[in-house]
Amino acid sequence: MLLIKGAEIYAPEYLGKQDVLIAGGKIERIGENLPKYEGCAVIDGNGKIVTPGIIDRHVHITGGGGEGSFHTQAPPVELGKLIEGGVTTVVGVLGTDGISRSVENLVAKVKSLKEEGISAYCTCGAYGYPSPTITGSIDKDIMFIDEILGLKLAVSDHRAPNVSVDELIRLASDVRTAGMLSGKAGFICMHMGDDKKCLQPVFEALERTSIPIKTFQPTHVGRNANLQADAFKFAKMGGTIDITCGEFEKKTNSVATSLRAAKEENVPFEKITLSSDGQGSWSNYDSEGKLTEMGVSKVDTVYRQIVHQVKNEGMKLEEAICLGTSNVAKALELYPKKGAVREGSDADVLIMNADLSLNAVIANGAVMMKDGVLCKKGTYEK
């Protein structure tokens, strides 16, 4: 058992100064002056802040990239880097390369991260179509493989398979039904590119069918003004949109600008999530489509963006933290198991210092970081 004493609790709603008792990997009790049971470890939370752990819904856990040939393939994610970014739950995805990388490899990495102590899920599919799977069908992957929550697909991108609206409808129908049958979200994680079509294929699919809007979950929606405008329209219709933090030093202000614009246009903030695109490559191309620049995104950028929003944009912590916790959990239909500090939730907790620097990370009740120092690393991390 573990008792956090006297911290300011953001659940993510502000609960004031309370104690948090953790037992059996769950949050057992929240209250004032909770007793210390025999054998219970205690963390002094005085002057500190407790929030839910970050849920990063878009990480290339087996490595992304490769668009500049084999030597540009990014390496797999390391557990320690996730913990340092406050990530206690991760969703792994494939990207452009669904050829040398496989869904089998992705699920294996998910299982390894779970064995190392954090919660992990993934999607089947990649950019291409037909979508790569393990069982030979998307719906069977979602229904029978516990870790698979949905499907990845590229839309409106020069690397996309350019599926027709009819094909998009069929995919959405399969994903939706498999999700219903397996008690999962059953969604399409849509990598959005810079094509001028933006979200028009999705709007047409929604117009022509009764498939719920929650089935379509576009990411990278802040990459250009036209796509962002479509995304804001989509969110006002009830859909969830995901903004990529990506290469933090270059995108900090652009993400903040997108969030500011969303607020000005009355986009419901509960329908916005942040993700890192971690271990994926960021790339720039010239007018002829030739690769000019490439790098690898880090996995700490959701946390860093949340801190930036509070410190530099004047956003309240209880609003900013939702973008990487409760909003994500609700979109993935994992709430309140994930994304909340409440009795009965998984004990995925961040402890921040007063300046919002990360002091401790607790995942599934286990202390992974304490006093800013990693307590747990991946099997082969030094």
Q: What residues are labeled active site?
A: 277
What are the phi and psi torsion angles at 88 (to 5°)?
Answer: -110, -15
* SS3 at position 53: coil
Distance of CA 302 to the CA centre of its chain: 8
> Whole-angstrom Cα distance, residue 279 to residue 62?
8
Helix (H) or strand (E) holding 338: none
33 burial level (CB within 10 Å; 0-12, 13-18, 19+)? exposed
> Whole-angstrom Cα distance, residue 121 to residue 92?
6
Residues with Cβ within 8 Å of residue 38, at least 6 apart in sequence: none
Q: For residue 194, give the nearest of 140, 156, 231 by alpha carbon.
A: 156
What are the phi and psi torsion angles at 206 (to 5°)?
Answer: -70, -35
Q: CB count, 10 Å around CB of 183?
A: 9
Residue for token pair 């493989």: 145
* SS3 at position 140: helix
* SS3 at position 95: coil
* SS3 at position 360: strand
> Whole-angstrom Cα distance, residue 279 to residue 120?
15
